[in-house]
Amino acid sequence: MNKELVGFLFLAFGIVIGVLKFTSWIQDPFIGALNGVKNFYHESVEGFNSSIDEHFTQQDTIIRLQQENKTYKENNLLAQEFATELNSMFKEHSSDLKISPKVQLVKTLSYAKFGDINRVWLDMKDFNTSKVYGLVSQGVSAGIVTFKHGQAMALLNSDYKCSYTVFIGKKRAPGIVHGTNTKEMLVEFIPNWIKLEIGDEVSTSGLDNLFFTGLRVGKVLKITKSQGFQNALIEPYFDVTQPEYFHVIMKRY
């Protein structure tokens, strides 16, 4: 390559640089195009990274759910083993008492009546229409199951016809809780001689043969007295606005 050609190339390169640097009508579209390429690159990289993050997030979720399912199965087996051992102990001591609980997972089909969130139809396969069952959601009491037209209907905690027996506080004051068609529930017929406190925990007693003993119901908001008994207004733990899946206690023992 001769000196004339090299000098010409350097001169041409300098002219192009100068034009791009000092001529706005060429510089602006050039930079705009370049920025467009940059934006496309960054958006592509961000999209790729988001896809990768989403993939690993889903993978982590799957692993977590698998672990939770494994733990649930292990706990279920332990509970069955405990029940078997307990029944063996009862048998050894010539006792007729046996522990063999049974629950059924059910799905909500729809509200029983438009505008009434307190009652829902359940997709329940195995039931006895002459019985009433306890309803549980995420480990807390949610209501009771009755039957209408041969179909399983849940009366949720807020329904005024939903009632079951409970214990209140550390002294296990007995009472009967029922819905009030509001977000609170009311416990009635609590003996006067047992002292109650605001914030006391309310749990199922199991004495009505509907629930296991000790399932959480709610906490005390207000205490009143009427006709020789105490009443306790409580805030239930179950959220009546989310009636999706439940466990029905088919048999306590």
pTM: 0.64
Question: How high is the pLDDT of residue 251?
Answer: 83
pLDDT of residue 19: 52
H or E stretch at 221: strand 216-226
Note the pLDDT of residue 186. 98
Do the beta carbons of residue 187 and residue 176 sit within 8 Å?
A: yes
Average pLDDT, consecutive stretches of 10 residues, N- to C-terminus, the chain (253 residues): 56 54 50 47 55 64 70 54 57 60 90 92 92 93 94 96 97 97 97 96 95 94 94 96 90 77
Burial class (CB in 10 A: 0-12, 13-18, 19+), 184: middle
Q: Could you tell me the sign of the dihedral formed by the alpha carbons of 154, 159, 160, 162, in that order? A: positive
